[in-house]
Structure formats: C-alpha cells, structure tokens
Structure 1
Amino acid sequence: MSSFTLLVTSAPFSQQNAYSAYRFAHAAVQSKHKVNGIFFYQSGTINGSNLQVTPSDEFDLFNAWQTLSQQHNVPLMVCVSAATKRGITSAEDAQDSDTPHFSLSAPFESVGLGDLAILINSSDRLIQF
C-alpha cells in the first residue's frame, strides 16, 4: 500500500479543493493506504479554525477533518506562520503573543514548515489540493 502526504492550500469554502482533499484522504484510509499527515498551508490554514459556522444544509468539513483524524490517526498540521497571518492561533501561541484568543484546537496542531519536509520525506507521494 502507498503512503501519502496531503498539502491543502485552499480555504474550506472558497473552492472545491479542501473538500476534495478530505474525500481523497477518506478514500485512501478506507482502501488501507496510509495518510502520514495533512498539512494546511496558505489559505488552507482556515480549515483548522474552530470559529467556522457551517449552515445546517452544508457539509461540515471542519468536523469531518476532526473525525478523520480521530478515527484513522491522521495528523492535521497547520502552518503556524501562515495561520497567524490569518488570525488563527493555538492556545500556546496565543499565550506567547499576549493575545487571549485562539481558534486552533486539537486535533489540529500548530507546526512549522520543517514538519512538512519530514512528512514529504516519509511518504511515497505528495498531493496538493
């Protein structure tokens, strides 16, 4: 079986790309492939914000990412610098910057670009959405 790293650079509702990434990851784990991690970069970091409110008649991508991570042990990694530019911080990063607010919580984790390099190195394929 193959192993994958997914790179998501699209916001959850601006294009189909983030949803396609989720569908790919879900299909991969269902087919017994390994998803070593999903790295959210640029506008893709918005996928990790817990401030999203999804209308009841739309697919809740935020909760879908969480469920995928929890059920299949898939790390959800959000680039700290790209997320911070978009107002998305973890509790730890918020404390470091004296900002009391944060919008990134588990299973999403705040990481650097070095973690993406490690993911790519440990995977058979990198797929960008």
Structure 2
Amino acid sequence: MPTLTKLYTMEEASQHNTKDDCWVVIDGKVYDVTPYLDEHPGGDDVVLAATGKDATDDFEDAGHSKSAKELMQNFCIGELDTSAPIIPELEIASKKETANYSRNLMDLTKQYWAVPVAIVGISVVAGFICLRKK
C-alpha cells in the first residue's frame, strides 16, 4: 500500500524561513531542516538564504557529498505541488480604480500648489532684500 505524500505550495514553504522554522525545497521535495541548522557545516545563514525559492541549484553548486544527500532524506516532509502557480496571481486594478487614483492625485496637486509657489516667492523677496543691503 503506497504512502500518501503531503503536497506543499512554494508559497507555503517560503513562509517557513526562520531559524526556529526552516524549510527548503530541493529537487521538488520539501525539507524541514530546522533541527539540522545548528549542525550544518556551512552555517545556518547559508540554509536560511535558500528558503523561499527552489534551492536545487544552490544545493548542487555546493557539492554536497553522497552522505549529505542521504542525511537529507531524514528531513523530507513532502513534495512541491507543481500544479500550483509558483507566483501568486497579481490583483489587477480596475480602470475605475485607476481613474479614481489619478483624479485624487490631480486634486492633491491642485490643492498644494500654493506651498511651493510661496517658498519661491519668499526666496525671491529675500534675495532682493539681501542685494539692496549690499
């Protein structure tokens, strides 16, 4: 009887990115390496930097030994759900919301034009006063 494998999305795995709760994704599998962080020969910061993304290339580039790859299997908690989008879908603002934003921005621009004009005016007057005194 086959064992059921828990599926995790990349978004779920990326939420576990602290020293107290650290998951990494390598070769489509999700690993909870929290208990191993203090023992990792490269330091915990190297592992923490690999969270929130597919760390397969980082893992392979480090040249891990066969025993390291075997040890890694002890921390496997599931597989990456490849049917879920890697990047959550973005919310697209409606044209009406964009128009409202543009209108609000124009209203603010019209409302606060007096402040820069006043600063320029005061600067010009102060300049003339200084020149007259010389």
For the aligned pair, the TM-score class normalised by the smaller chain equals under 0.3
Write 1 or 2 for the structure with the bigger share of helix. 2
With the length of structure 2 as denominator, give the TM-score of the two structures.
0.24
Write 1 or 2 for the structure with the bigger share of strand. 1
With the length of structure 1 as denominator, give the TM-score of the two structures.
0.24
